[in-house]
Structure 1
Amino acid sequence: MNHSELSTLATEAFRPELADIDRLPTAEIARIMNAGDRSVPGAVAGQLPRIAAAIDATADRMARGGRLVYAGAGTAGRLGVLDASECPPTFNTAPGQVVGLIAGGPTALLAAVEGAEDSRELAAADLDALSLTADDTVVGVSASGRTPYAVGAVEHARALGALTVGLACNEGSALAAAADHAIEVVVGPELLTGSTRLKAGTAQKLVLNMISTITMIRLGKTYGNLMVDVRASNEKLRARSRRIVALATGASDSEIEAALTATDGEVKPAILVLLAGVDADTATRLLAKTDGHLRAALDH
């Protein structure tokens, strides 16, 4: 992307009123930065109908066994990897069910990989390694909306019949044009000219939070606002599991311990044991019949 192209992007615009920001007191710089950050949720709010439509389409495919794949470069790629990596402990997603691809691979999480973001071919190769299907969803993430890796990922995925979402922070982006679902959260110029890890990064994080969290709610990974599919892999999470069962059932500590012991620490069947008065094996069978939806299992 050349100088003239950059100058047309809202995310790259120069704010002349901040030309002397380095001369200001630290507290004043922090105030200015905080004031600018307040515009981000409003920009996201303007895209909520598009975000919701993308989530519903994603959840439909994931219910059929599809995967959610994020693809981006630099900060955008790191945010996708972060969101994907947090799904297994939060929602007990299967390995490979939510995937984060970053241009340049894992090395790029810590250091820039020269030229990786400029390669559409690299994006296609990374997706081909996943053996993409029509039930999968690929979310291209790019602040500029022009990053070749993200645009290439969406174009390649769409050609293979997968659902595609383009998340950008500029209007009229190539990424949005390439995708089935376009989400353009326009947050305007950054405090530091072109530093899109700031407002643009915050906006992307908010939208990715929505995509993964609400998709998992639609897939029955929660019960109300409780994380009933949490994977209790350490003492903090084991304590959280006990608290979730307590909040869902109102049972005594001894009853909760007995139920969790019977279900090998699994929260959903433990809640079913306590609320439906069934044994652990029956609870597990009921959840299998309802594809893991606790409310549906309770209705049974």
Structure 2
Amino acid sequence: MEHHPVVLTEKIAIGISMCAMGCPVRYNGKAIDVLTVLGRERQDFIWCPVCPECLAGLGVTRDPIHLTSGCGDDVWTGEAGIRNRGGKVVTEAVIEGCKDSLKALQRCNTKAFVYMDGSPSCGVYRTTLKNTRRGNPPGVFGSLLLKEGYFLIPSSDLQSPLKWWDWRRRLLAFHWFANLQLSGLQELYDAWYRLKFLCQELDNTWAREMGRTLATLSKEDFASFEPEFRLQVLNLLRRPSTPAKITNSLWKHYSHYRKSRGKRVEEINSPDFKRNVTTIAKELLKMERTAVEDDFLFGASPVIYRDQRRLEAIEKRKTEE
């Protein structure tokens, strides 16, 4: 049986640090709009901007804050605190601002967040932008989002067409699989077939071992196996790939497309062809469009978003041809 791509027609809600969406709410009243570079693609998502420091009542402009005696994890356990530049303790206010921000994200039904790294509140792997120091990561809000299992995307990666493509395709797969109801082994096998090529790209050793494990399962194993399987796959989908892995995967699946469908896509090049990340991203998008139009499972990007009108236009063209 030939497997087909998963096409989502409902927009995914994504949380985002408010200052990364162009809102001038940083401590110094500045901001950066990382969504501008996405062009029309920004309309494919519902964006939910929040700012824990504003919801903490700290205002704009304000004294910058910093973590004391530990990281964001330690703030939640009471082992660390938060002070502003003037030495004022603002720990409780920031905690409440983080809680309110999470509630807003939950009301918007988000499970992904684009964060501003370097922030003592939203940062995940950095809580300062001074020189090359990382500060005390994660930040207070970053710590909360990690505990809540959010799919976390650094805002700076939206500036790279290839990095954004990688985050987007993994986010779509993450969203689909996190919400997929599985009632038995056959449904689990079908889901794995769609995701396994992407998983192999991200961690081939783990994916091959998982494939062998799945081959030995019995129906009685499903109930105990499924929760851990789902958790491991979702955790893997959070991990970025590399340009080399992505271009090799593109060529692998395009070669399969040529062999199985007897068609060519002239814009797609082999891995040893020298080009920049913008060109690679365009090739990947072209292969995604081809997959939807030709009902082909592009294993590097198995879950694709298309709004209903675009799908209807594709079906109309097929009928006319």
> Which category describes the TM-score, using the shorter chain as reference length?
under 0.3
TM-score under structure 1 length normalisation: 0.28
